[in-house]
Amino acid sequence: MYEKIVKGPANYKHKLLLADPPYHDDLYLVSFPKSGVTWLSFLMANIHLQCSRLDATATFFNLESYIPDIHLTRSLKDSILTFPGFRIIKSHSEYNPFYRRIIYLMRDPKDVMVSYYYFMKKLGWFNGSISELIRSKSYGIDAWCRHTQSWLNKTHAFQQINVIKYEDMKREPRKVLDRVYSILGFKLPQIILDEAIDRSAFDEMKKNEEYCIKWKLSSPKGYSFMRKGITGDFKSELTEADVDYIQNKAKHLLEIFNYEDILA
Ligand code: PPS
């Protein structure tokens, strides 16, 4: 089946978001934008640095060397870390038949919409209101549903996909990391996980971002990326009509991914 897809009339768009050269054991961290993948990348990089016995911490300046973003460069070398022995790559790709190992990171789309709105506005990429963003086909809830549904509908048996949630990372980061690494075949000492969680805490990452901005080290985002880092921000940012709109559009997916508890 894999051969059929790779050799089939496939899809330039998918190949644009594939590492070059691709390795069979590449692991992709996939998410819709603003779901918290930078935090997950910091956590994993901070674990891999310790396990590789390197005296370094993940920063906005060096993250790309450990967990590259496929939207910034496709030309990828072997990982400079000795652990975990395969490359880990960040991607916002909709369903991609060329990815074989995927961790899919989800976040409550209501909070995603709020985060996305401030992101787009700060970069000057969207000038409308938050309600308009939510209703935009390209960035709003339709885009979130398209992204999530694409992985749900199309993922083949030869692709290994595991879903984790931002809200669980907030509540029980250690448990989520335990699960991620057991999926990858590792049982890591708690002390390593705890150290990575501390080094990747919101305030630590924010301090690092401010340092990078102050000294004009490439803050990859170039604006205040570390905004709030909370769950349920939508409650103070969205109107009831906006919340209803999102929940009607995404109802089916919210149920499937057990987000019913956060339905109003
Ligand atoms: S991007 O631009 O798509 O790569 O953004 P992404 O990293 O996926 O998501 C950005 C949101 O993640 C929040 N964030 C964190 N939350 C909790 N803890 C930590 N350490 C952390 N780091 C980043 C970030 O603040 C964005 O969410 P909002 O709601 O805008 O604060």
| Rounded CA separation 257/248 (Å) | 15
Per-residue pLDDT tens digits for 114-136: 999 999 998 889 999 999 999 99
Maximal CA-CA distance, the chain: 52
pLDDT > 90 fraction of the chain, expressed in percent and rounded: 83
pLDDT at 6 over 60: no
- Asked if residue 212 has pLDDT above 90, the reply is no
pLDDT digits (tens, 9 = 90+) for 60-82: 999 999 999 999 999 999 999 99
Mean pLDDT for 219-242 is 87
Q: What is the pTM of this model?
A: 0.94
Please give the single-letter amino acid code of residue 23.
Y
User: Atom 19 (ligand 1): residue with closest C-alpha?
Assistant: 202
* Ramachandran area for residue 53 (φ above 0: left; ψ -120 to 50: alpha; else beta): left
Q: Determine which of 110-114, 197-201, 209-213, 218-222 has the lowest per-residue pLDDT on average.
A: 218-222
The CA–CA distances, whole Å, from 57 to 2, 45, 46 equal 37, 8, 6
pLDDT of residue 262: 55
Q: Whose CA is nearest to atom 22 of ligand 1?
A: 39
pLDDT exceeds 90 at position 4: no
Ligand 1, atom nearest to 202 Cα: 20
Substitution site in 30, 39, 234 for ligand 1 pocket (most atoms within 8 Å of beta carbon)? 39
Q: Report, as an integer, the average pLDDT of 101-112.
A: 97
Separation of alpha carbons 188 and 181, rounded Å: 7
Mean pLDDT of 186-213: 95
139 alpha carbon – ligand 1 mean position (Å):
17
- 144, pLDDT greater than 90: yes
Peptide bond into 21 cis (omega under 30): yes
pLDDT at 135: 98
Instruction: From 29, 31, 34, 210, give the residue whose CB has the most ligand 1 atoms within 8 Å, as the site to mutate.
Output: 34
Query: Does residue 47 sit in helix, strand or coil?
Result: helix
pLDDT at 10: 57
